[in-house]
Amino acid sequence: MDSRERVYAALNRQETDRVPVWIWFHPETSRRLAAALAVPPSSLADALGDDIRQTWVGNNHAMEGIVHDREGERHTDPWGVTWVRQGPFNQVERSPLADAGEEEIRGYEFPYGHTDELLAGMETVLRSPGRRFIGCDISPCLLELMFRIRGMEPALLDLAASAEVSRNFLSRAADFSIHLAEEACERFPLDWLWTGDDVGSQRAMIISPQRWREMIGPQLARIVSVGKSRGVRVAYHSCGSIRPIIPDLIAMGLDVLNPIQCNCPGMDPAELKREFGKELSFMGGLDTQHLLPEGTPDEVFRATKKLIEVMTGGGGGYILAASHSVPPETPLENIFAVYEAAGVTRQQIQDNAADIRARGGKT
């Protein structure tokens, strides 16, 4: 099977030659792993045999796609959000509407004029060798985007005290996400549309499930319908504990849920598979808080094998991935153990890396 066939078979709950794999790495992890394989970081997914190629065209590019080398370096994105590197990640330093009144919030303009610039990253994705499963990430779409533009505390206060202002902003945020989704579906041969917002914390949802259903769910359904109406699969990402809204996501036609943060209440992968596995595919569930950085290679191998067996029981419906980006302190041997458990041997990875080097480091 090629990668595209493998992912589609898994999503269709059909037999595959091995479980599809797509692992995210912190940039520092990518650099270490690429150096060990003597390939450019941009070629790492090809060396490892990952099955999915995707990039950010929404605001997550500003957070994850722009990598600063030094602490304190900053940039301002097309939404007007200023980011600064603090520790290993970019963090919001300034939200453009943090001190805004109602009139300014209603007058905020989403970056329609940057559409071509935002979508340009997909060209690199499409140049990947072989038949890969192609995705386009338009997230964050709604609540998390409002947190970044308005500031988290003011946005939460708006939701409680100025519901109509929040509804107006979220509706316009959905309009812009729909614009990006429609343009991406029109311009590129997508296999799935990647949506999402982090609406869960480590313990519960950030806003109540009922408030989510009132304010977020209807707008998300509009975005999901863009992919569904075009025959494109739709994936949804939210960190944290979001168990109460999974039936809502299924009802609006969602195909894949990520990242299954297994240490959060209600997010045990096996339980989710038993309850929702006939209607929903899953991607993730591999612990990045303890198992990957702290476990031995044997422990990582056995835990990954068990996760795959549980999540593919009854026929597919699963893509192997971590529950977050793999942190820099993770031993490289643990990463290779994950791929070994998935059926991608160390020798295959070394052979892929040798092929990349023979091509002059180009994918």
Domain ranges for the chain, please list them: 3-358
pLDDT tens for each residue of 79-105: 999 999 998 889 999 999 999 999 999
Distance of CA 224 to the CA centre of its chain: 15
Phi-psi region of 168 (alpha: psi -120 to 50; beta: other; left: phi over 0): alpha
By the 8 A CB rule, do 10 and 317 touch? Answer: yes
Residues 196, 261: Cα–Cα separation, whole Å: 14
Q: Please tell me the predicted confidence (pLDDT) of residue 129.
A: 79
Beta-ladder partners of 135: 54, 192
What phi and psi, each to the nearest 5 degrees, are found at residue 56?
-85, 135
**Can you read off the two tokens belonging to residue 65?**
């796609």
> Which residues, 6+ apart, have CB-to-CB distance to 164 below 8 Å?
none
Provide the b/e sequence for 183-206 (b: ≥16 CB within 10 Å).
bbbeebebbbbbbbbbbbeeebbb
With a CB cutoff of 8 Å and minimum separation 6, the contacts of 149 are 79, 80, 81, 95, 96, 97, 108
Residue 21: DSSP 8-state: B
Question: How many Å apart are CA 158 and CA 161, to the nearest integer?
Answer: 5
pLDDT band with cut points at 50, 70 and 90 for residue 362: low
Q: What's the rounded Cα separation, in Å, for the pair 361 and 351? A: 13
Classified by CATH at the fold level, domain 3-358 comes out as TIM Barrel (3.20.20)
3-54, pLDDT tens digit by residue?
999 999 999 999 999 999 999 999 899 999 999 999 999 999 999 999 999 9
Per the listing, tokens 């989704």 go with 181
Q: Is the pTM of this model over 0.85?
A: yes
